[in-house]
Amino acid sequence: MLLSLAFRNLWRNGRRTLLTLSAMVVSLALLILALSIFSGMLRDILASATEQYHGHLVISRDDYQETHDLYTTMTEAHLPLAKIAASNPVQGLSPRLRGYGLVSHADSSYPAELLGIRPDAESGVTSLQRQLIAGTALAADDDHGAVLGASLARRLGVKPGDELVFVTQAADGSIGNDLLTVRGIFKTGDSGHDNGLLLVPLGWLQQTLALPGQVHEVALAITDPMTASASANQLRPLLPDGIHIVDWGTLLPEMREAIASFDVSRLIFSVILYFATGLGVLNTLFMSVMERTREFGILMAIGMRPRSIRLLVLLESALLGLLGASLGVMGGIALCAVMSDTGIDLSAWITPISYAGGTLPPRLRAVLELRNLLDPTLMLLFTTLLAGFFPARRAARLQPVAAIRMD
Amino acid sequence: MRHSAIFSFLLVLLLLPTWATAADLRGLIRKVEQQYMGLSSKAVMTMSVRAEHWERSLTMESWSLGRDHFLVRILAPAKEAGVATLKAERNVWNYLPKVDRVIKVPPSMMGGAWMGSHITNDDLVKANHIDEDYTFELIEEAPDLYRIACLPKPEAAVVWGKVVYEIVRPQEVPGRVTYFDEKMAPVREIVFDEVTRIDGRTLPLRMTVQPLDKPGEKTIIHYDSIDFDININTAFFSLRNLKS
């Protein structure tokens, strides 16, 4: 009975209700879109930070991730890689060996980092091999090819097909040196990698560094990078003593902070928007309660309890909120659908931005996550109920006689 | 004091500071510099390197001419035989027989280890220019030694904050050299011993390089044979000769 009464009350001043409703719908839809664009940026920058180099999770021994010490290796055959690969969230797994040394072509030599990989395994974890601007990726059976960063290639003056000499101190103290052939050149937008990283076959690097069968780390890709920490906990029991697994948040603390700051911006953004919306709802409900002072007085005089009056007004605001939320969610989903298909390409105006170890591509793209719908919707309902609370309390406290006498 | 290879770089200069204690420091240094120009040597030496994870020994053959030309080639072990380093003026090249390529050591790698030892490429290049890059001060004069502090000139591009030489008297050969970083903490020590008289010259045959932050590691260079004043000229120190 109260519910239908509340519903009918809403439409007694249809224009006002519709105006308030449209403010709610538009603010909710736009907020959903804005949060989804935030999510899109976040995904892009996180993907660039993890999928361009680190992977989502990394397995290594002792303090390797801090020291990058040549001797902190693991015997690949002793790692339970099959079990890890079969684990639920794991999508890709790449054993790697890392070496530092001098890369030389003709008269130019530069210090560089060599990442020994198995090309097919690495492609399941990082996108380096797909960001080529020249040449080809490393083939699975390549035994002395190299794919290197664009700036390094330019400084060395090499193009695909050219020869490189690599010299370093091998693990046995000897002078490790061998020839490489440039296969491809990648460009990530991350100056560190473009300037000094080469991908080389794992077997070749193991031989050159005199570390047969050894790897420094195993990089993993998982289904959802945002759950990396939980996945790390899940995989940890599989690992032998002394072997650790860390997530990208540990490897890239700046990125973790960047994401935390994104979360704070989301919150601030939502609160500002809903403060305005909430005032609008408050205004509507207050006006309608004031107008109906006499009516409430009569209702109370004929025996309606103050509690029911309060409930009635709260129901009105709840109905308004539900209506606004459902329409707003639909609008938000529609806007996101448009923005996720095409997005907005900004590359004509801005270049990629490097930030916190990741690279933000010049585009706006919406990624609809459940929390982008849920958070703003719940906040809208809460705001409307809060805005309904004060008029409801006022209505419930009316004295019947005084209220009836009001004009 | 005129002799070979790395020794000539370090030793020659070691002695410069002793001369520099005299009144006309710069004039003396120039005179000494002239004195060594054109003088040459050929040596066979053994370099033993002990590092945290490995220990190895290399036999090397070296030629030097004056202070700016130096060629060294590994004779053993077989795996690295033929690997060679050429220093001409202030440049360093390495030859790698396995890939048959010559690599010029870039400025950014000058601080890197030379042949896996505790001697850096910079030591090869800069050590024997210490008279140009540093100022000298006699801090102790005892009957059996001089102790001399070398401080870099403000504009000099050098790696050390201070170098302290102990020169043994009366032979005037180096005994110990301590290297300090920019914070004036000692980081490396070179000890010279087995002082022997060869070919009319008195010189230490053994040099031990000790990185002070890694007590378990060291590099020992021992001279097995040295010949002085050999018939050699600058043309010998060519990239072509580096390869053969």
Name residue A376's amino acid: P
- Mutation target for A interface from B72, B91, B94: give the one with most A CBs within 10 A: B94
User: Using CB atoms, which residue from A71, A109, A178 is nearest to B104?
Assistant: A109
Residue A306: count of CB within 10 angstroms of its CB: 15
* One domain, residues A36 and A94: no
* One domain, residues A20 and A78: no
CB pair distance less than 8 Å for B53 and A173: yes
* One domain, residues A164 and A301: no
CB pair distance less than 8 Å for B116 and A169: yes
Distance CA A294, CA A24 (A): 29
* One domain, residues A214 and A268: no
* One domain, residues A260 and A384: yes
CATH code of the domain containing B229:
2.50.20.10
Residue A139 within any structural domain of the chain: yes
Long-range contacts of B97-102 (CB under 8 A, 24+ apart): B98/A177, B98/A178, B99/A165, B99/A177, B99/A178, B99/A179, B100/B243, B101/A104, B101/A165, B101/A179, B102/B239, B102/B242, B102/B243
The Cα-based distances of B70 to A54, B177, B202, B219 in angstroms read 44, 22, 21, 20
pLDDT tens-digit map of A46-75: 887 788 888 999 999 989 999 999 999 999
pLDDT tens-digit map of A339-349: 876 677 777 77
CB pair distance less than 8 Å for A107 and B104: yes
Write down which residue in A216, A241, A266 finishes a domain.
A241
Count of domains forming chain A = 2
Please tell me which residue, A90 or A403, carries the higher pLDDT value: A90
CB pair distance less than 8 Å for A178 and B99: yes
User: Using CB atoms, which residue from A109, A169, A175 is nearest to B83?
Assistant: A175
Distance CA B56, CA B45 (A): 14
- The pLDDT of residue B128 is 61
Find the mean pLDDT for residues B211-226.
91
- ipTM, two decimals: 0.77
Residue A300 within any structural domain of the chain: yes
pTM for the model stands at: 0.75
Count of domains forming chain B = 1
- The pLDDT of residue B11 is 52
Please tell me which residue, A179 or B5, carries the higher pLDDT value: A179
* One domain, residues A320 and A394: yes
For A316, the domain range is 2-49+256-405
Residue A57 within any structural domain of the chain: no
* One domain, residues A281 and A227: no
Residue A102 within any structural domain of the chain: yes
* One domain, residues A282 and A217: no
pLDDT bin (cut points 50, 70, 90) of residue A197 is very high
User: Using CB atoms, which residue from A104, A107, A174 is nearest to B79?
Assistant: A174
Name residue A46's amino acid: L
For B36, the domain range is 5-243
Distance CA B155, CA B42 (A): 35
Number of continuous H segments (helices) and E segments (strands) in chain A: 15, 16
Residues 74-103 of A with CB under 8 A from B: 102
Please give the span between the terminal C-alpha atoms of chain B, in angstroms, as a whole number.
29
* One domain, residues A313 and A197: no
Taking contacts as CB-CB distances below 8 angstroms, the residues of chain A near B106 are 102, 108-111
Write down which residue in A241, A267, A292 finishes a domain.
A241
* One domain, residues A263 and A188: no
* One domain, residues A205 and A95: yes
CB A131 within 8 A of CB A163: no
Distance CA B146, CA B166 (A): 6
Residue A56 within any structural domain of the chain: no
* One domain, residues A237 and A153: yes
| Low-confidence winner among A76-90, A130-144, A364-378 (lowest mean pLDDT) | A364-378
